[in-house]
Structure 1
């Protein structure tokens, strides 16, 4: 009797890809349906794979089981660890045909090429904002979800991105290594110093494609664009009010809470807004810096 060596396969009805196991097919099908059956019990984020959920949970627990033998850096997932290790090898086999920049990973090259093409393939389903990098979309989406998975161990303040947490942590150290040679102002971040320098040079490199308005910093342009798009991504959890920027939302929330964090050091009057405090201080012949 002739042995049937043909292996059973499982094809996808949507795109035709073939899998050797039904479980692989089920997992793949979620890329078409958008199903995310594995929710995080801490922040509510949901995932299509349980392995992705397990890696995500390390953001909350702080667990980083992958260690670099060269510099002792630690990582939450194996793929990030492998990419890091190549930093030490110095190998950069992927080169850009446009500007000859080289990269250690193919995904870094693909991301770089978008700086030449202007491609932004990652789009927010809530407000339509587009991004060249998936990680930037992930951070942006937290504007809508309110998720802040990165917490400062000193003061327990939470942040939506690891970079924001790192910037915040420098404030506890109290060191401002970047100093303006023009006026002596000091900053925690080099980028903040660069932005500050434009107050001296008058440079406004960020321009609106709709009306031509120019801005000193990119967040200023981002907020301005919402005037044209009508986007109001910041919503109040106590009422239906929505706002174009987070500072306006914070000021609004204080109308519900009654919080007045800005106080006059002359007479003790308290205000919800720094602008109102400054206006009040002029009555005393001075203004808060």
Structure 2
């Protein structure tokens, strides 16, 4: 097949532009060429062999790209390059409006939305801005509660096709993605990536307002609502309002008394998946949260945080009567009984 130079303006397959000529060639293959490369593990198919090779790493658990400074490992070389900027403190991406600099191009794109609010697709209900109208359309399904994608096995419905795909793995019981550190397995690669942040303690998502960092973008989005003080989601029974739809859904279980999450070991039921996860630790005896100072382990992250106060000698809870300080709020409450008895 003869090589051919592509002119961006003559690319009539899609009205889409690319920076590199190779990307244009690969993009033009997509409408017409079958996905020839198939994963032997999960049968997912790919157009290019390179994509298949990268995908296979999710099954083998191999993380080939290692940082020479801190020995942190990455699945893809581009993630390693971004990480290296944290050591050099280099910020090559600059905002043309306010001159603020960023280490990652993605952070700059997100920042630019603060300057172009009037052009950002925005939800009329929650007033959250989005990078593209297609993302806004998906978001609107939260408010309309429309769920067009249905599981053929159990008829459960989903607002997005990707959620349906992940759900289908629950019927096959297959968990092809394995954590190389603790051997825990996942049916979805995104869940594995989120899990890996527990081991790496990486928090790549940063709030531009208070600079608090999060290990997942969804946590950052929920956090941002604390700055707007808006609570667009209302309970129709008791009128209590929430800044996040998931919190409203959890709250509704109080009224319905529904407990959809069941323990496979003892069949105890819970109203929230997080409560079930914590409960499961009682069966596995696993204590995933470790103190970096004394190596003591805990089943809950909240218990670890309270324990850390012992090492840092921080006593944030102060008695308003005698100024005595305590590491835990519960200890302060018990102490306050001394003053109430005296009165």
TM tier, smaller? 0.5 to 0.7
Residues 60 and 150, structure 1, Cα contact 8 Å, conserved in 2: no
Match of 2:175 in 1: 120
Match of 1:246 in 2: 301
Q: 1:133 aligned to 174, 183, 188, which one?
A: 188
Separation in 2 of the partners of 1:201 and 1:101? Answer: 20
Question: 1:75-90 alignment to 2 at 5 Å?
Answer: none
- Stretches of structure 2 that go unaligned for 5 or more consecutive residues are 1-39, 41-49, 86-92, 94-101, 114-118, 123-129, 139-148
Say if 2:312 is the partner of 1:257: yes
Closer/same/farther in 2, CA of residues 184 and 283 from structure 1, 3 Å limit:
farther
Q: 1:53 aligned to 80, 88, 91, which one?
A: 80
Match of 1:212 in 2: 267
Closer/same/farther in 2, CA of residues 148 and 279 from structure 1, 3 Å limit:
same
The CA RMSD measured in Å over matched residues stands at 4.4
Separation in 2 of the partners of 1:176 and 1:234? Answer: 32
Say if 2:200 is the partner of 1:145: yes
Question: What do residues 121-166 of structure 1 show as CA deviations (whole Å, max 9, x unaligned)?
Answer: 2232333433221111111111122111111111111111000111
Question: 1:9-48 alignment to 2 at 5 Å?
Answer: 31=57, 34=62, 36-39=64-67, 45-48=72-75
Separation in 1 of the partners of 2:232 and 2:136? Answer: 29
Residues 179 and 193, structure 1, Cα contact 8 Å, conserved in 2: yes
Aligned-pair CA distance for 1:242: 1.1
- Stretches of structure 1 that go unaligned for 5 or more consecutive residues are 1-14, 16-23, 76-82, 88-93
Residues 150 and 158, structure 2, Cα contact 8 Å, conserved in 1: yes
Match of 2:210 in 1: 155
Residues 222 and 244, structure 2, Cα contact 8 Å, conserved in 1: yes
Separation in 1 of the partners of 2:249 and 2:296? Answer: 35
Separation in 2 of the partners of 1:158 and 1:52? Answer: 18
How many residues are paired up? Answer: 250
TM-score (ref. length: structure 1): 0.67
Residues 259 and 272, structure 1, Cα contact 8 Å, conserved in 2: yes
Separation in 2 of the partners of 1:208 and 1:183? Answer: 30
Say if 2:233 is the partner of 1:233: no
